[in-house]
Amino acid sequence: MSKLHTIIRRLRLGTAYRHQLTCHPDFGLERHEDGCSVLWRGRRVGRVGLVGPLKNRYGDHCFTVATGPSLGEVDLGRLAGHDCISLNCAIRKFAEAGMRPRHCVIVDRRIFENQWECVRDSITSGANCFFSAVGLSRICEREPELLGHDNIFLIEAIGRRFGFPGVDKERFHAAYRDDPEVVLDPEHAAQARTIGFSLNADKGFFPGKTVATWAVQLACFLGYRSNYILGMDLGGTGKAHFYGDNRMRPPDFLKDYDPYIRVAFELARRAADDRGFRIFNLSAHSTLPAEIIPKISLEEALADASGAAIFSERVVQP
């Protein structure tokens, strides 16, 4: 899209719908009670599910697999038999191990634009694929036939749902500050649309500047009570991704860490303590300190997942 067309479209969308600017102008969604029809140039090209009906469909525990450099040292085969959530291009690691995850989450439009094989491989793996509206728009542009698969779900940011006007900061805080399904930090009201924790996928999730925050909220909503996160280094190793691909500029986690990522996980920990689920970080060198999300090893996580009582007691006690 040319720069002039972008300017014209920005004016047409106005402030209320500017969150749709990165979607192609020929893309659309028609919402139904049980899903969405995906429209491309006025024609229905597929149907995707909504996250809401999946509430508490799963349980016990899951391993969330992020793409930090530390993932390169992990033998993913050790997770065989466990539910896994693949983030962005972690699907490559699953393919190398001859495994497939239970779920995939891709919300970064740069993955859809620069790492297309990760999108295709996630869909064809058969995993439940949770994609943003921008991601669905890119699929329409590049390979709309992929929307014929029945394992794709629309995942959205709270206050910025496709087809609905966005909510400004003041109205957002007024709408959600007393909502029992939404956890906010009053000290960061200016960033309230980005930093928080949502217990209801129908309202949307908080972006938090990293896909891992989406995954933590999603895992809780799906019903998992323990979430073990691998490869969530957040810049702590000084490198970008385990696969070392230079086709896209790596995110600057250290720039976004404070307050976005830090506070998002502080609120996740608060929600976990209040709601009775657990989150563990398996990246020893992660920027996120153990005081916010406890750090354990893969061996300890596997023992905990198997119900080893001695480990559970040691971790849970303050």
With respect to residue 140, please indicate whether it lies within any of the assigned structural domains. Answer: yes
Kindly give the interhelix angle for 133-142 and 116-124, rounded to the nearest 10 degrees.
100
Answer whether residue 278 is part of any domain. Answer: yes
Residue 290 lies in a domain: yes
Residues of the chain with pLDDT under 70: 1-2, 4-5, 236-240, 244-253, 308-318
Tell me: cis bond preceding 101? Omega within 30 of 0 counts. Answer: no
pLDDT of residue 190: 85
Q: What's the alpha-carbon Rg for the chain, to the nearest Å?
A: 19
- Give residue 113's identity as a one-letter amino acid code: E
**What pLDDT, on a 0 to 100 scale, did the predictor assign at position 240?**
64
CATH of the domain at 294: 3.90.1480
What pLDDT was estimated at residue 6? 73
Domain membership of residue 37 (yes or no) is no
Contact 228, 64 (CB under 8 A): yes
Number of domain units in the chain: 1
226 occurs within a structural domain: yes
- Quick: pLDDT tens for 223-252: 999 999 999 999 755 566 777 665 555 556
Residue 20 maps to a domain: no
d(CA 260, CA 271): 16
Question: What pTM was estimated for this model as a whole?
Answer: 0.91
The confidence score (pLDDT) of residue 281 equals 98
Domain that holds residue 277: 54-316
